[in-house]
Amino acid sequence: MRADRLVATLLLMQSRGRVTAAEVAGELEVSVATARRDLEALSAAGIPVYPQSGRGGGWSLVGGARTDLSGLSATEAQALFLLVGPAAAVSPEAKSALRKLVRALPQTFRADAEAAAEAVMIDPTRWGERERDRPDMVAMLQSAVVRRRQVRLVYVNGARERSERLVAPWGLVDKDDTWYLIAGTDRGRRTFRVDRIAEADVTDEPADRPDDFELAAAWDEVVGKMEERRSTTWATVLIAPRFVPILRDHFGRHCHVDGTADDGRTQVRLAAPTPLDIARNLAGWGADVEVLEPQAVRDELARIGTELAARYDGGR
Q: What does the domain layout of the chain look like in residue ranges?
A: 1-123, 136-227, 233-312
Residue 270 confidence (pLDDT) above 70: yes
pLDDT, mean of residues 199-222: 89
What is the predicted pLDDT for the residue at 192?
Answer: 94
Residue 54 confidence (pLDDT) above 60: yes
pLDDT, mean of residues 238-254: 91
pLDDT, mean of residues 90-118: 59
Residue 194 confidence (pLDDT) above 80: yes
What is the predicted pLDDT for the residue at 124?
Answer: 56
217 falls in which pLDDT band (50, 70, 90)? confident
How far is residue 115 CA from its own chain's centroid?
Answer: 23
| Rounded Cα distance, 10 and 65, in Å | 8
| Rounded Cα distance, 13 and 66, in Å | 10
Domain boundaries 233-312, CATH class: alpha beta
Length of the chain: 316
Residue 3 confidence (pLDDT) above 50: yes
| Rounded Cα distance, 37 and 43, in Å | 10
269 falls in which pLDDT band (50, 70, 90)? very high
Residue 121 confidence (pLDDT) above 60: no
Cα angle 274, 276, 279 (rounded to 5 degrees) comes to 120
- What is the second-level CATH architecture of the domain 1-123? Orthogonal Bundle (1.10)
Residue 244 confidence (pLDDT) above 50: yes
CATH number, domain 136-227: 2.30.30.520
70 falls in which pLDDT band (50, 70, 90)? very low
pLDDT, mean of residues 1-20: 70
pTM: 0.53
Residue 78 confidence (pLDDT) above 60: no
ω into residue 135 within 30 of 0, thus cis? no
Let me know if the fold of 1-123 is the same as that of 136-227: no
